[in-house]
Amino acid sequence: MSFGALRSELLKPGMKVGLYGGSFDPVHEGHLHVADTALTRLGLDRIWWIVSPQNPHKAHAPGDFRDRLQAVRSAANAPRMVVSDIEARLGINRTAQLATYLTRRHPGVNFVWIMGADALRSFHRWQDWQTIAHKMPIAVVSRPPDALRARLSRAAVALSRYRLSQHQAHALPSSSAPRWTYLTAPLYDVASSTLRVSSRRATTRN
């Protein structure tokens, strides 16, 4: 489903919506695994894949936005998956801005921010990260090799008293923020950066 379709879909109060932000440059199996894990373990009604125009912490320019959006649409073409260009349309690239916008506009909807363990490791460097944590619950999905380091990271320690056991993950979307959980799941050792290097090598060889 595209974001255009989403706009005409009624966002009902009480709906549980996972926000899964990423560059997806390119989209890969690990991303699908994160979305499926969050959908099932949190009992979500929807996952919105938020294709980021430009991660503010990545120096290199990502691939063409429209191409990435289209690739995510093809990969995430499954029930309850929605692909969104909302950041590009709003002209924003900070998660705190998105969280503020969505929670204000849809106060009755239960949004959850979804990210991999590597993102938790650097979360304390995101702009207004405390605001994000206070606007919506967060679900972190394990990723090699970050499992232990992520749970000992600055943000994880600062938010430790708000952590919910993964056995209670179903309660996360309707919990008041700050609240977060760490979902241990099968590890997918795949990264966009590795795929970009392989694709460059293949292009050079041909």
Ligand X SMILES: Nc1ncnc2c1ncn2[C@@H]1O[C@H](COP(=O)(O)OP(=O)(O)OP(=O)(O)O)[C@@H](O)[C@H]1O
117-136: contacts with ligand NCN (CB under 6 A): 119, 126-127
Q: What is the largest CA-CA distance in the chain?
A: 54
18 forms part of the interface with ligand X (CB under 6 A): no
Rounded alpha-carbon distances, angstroms, from residue 99 to 14, 79, 106, 135, 138? 17, 24, 10, 6, 11
Residue 50 is a binding residue for ligand NCN (CB under 6 A): yes
Report if residue 23 touches ligand X, rule: CB under 6 A: yes
Per CB under 6 A, which region of 17-25, 67-75, 148-156, 162-170 contacts ligand NCN? 17-25
Q: Which two tokens stand for residue 88?
A: 């590009």
* Contact positions with ligand NCN (CB under 6 A) in 63-122: 93-96, 119
Rounded Cα distance, 135 and 129, in Å? 10
Residues near ligand X (CB under 6 A), total: 18
Q: Report, in Å, the least distance between residue 206 CB and ligand NCN.
A: 28
127 binds, among ligand NCN, ligand X, none (CB under 5 to 8 A by kind): ligand NCN
DSSP 8-state class, residue 180: E
CA distance 102 to 99: 5
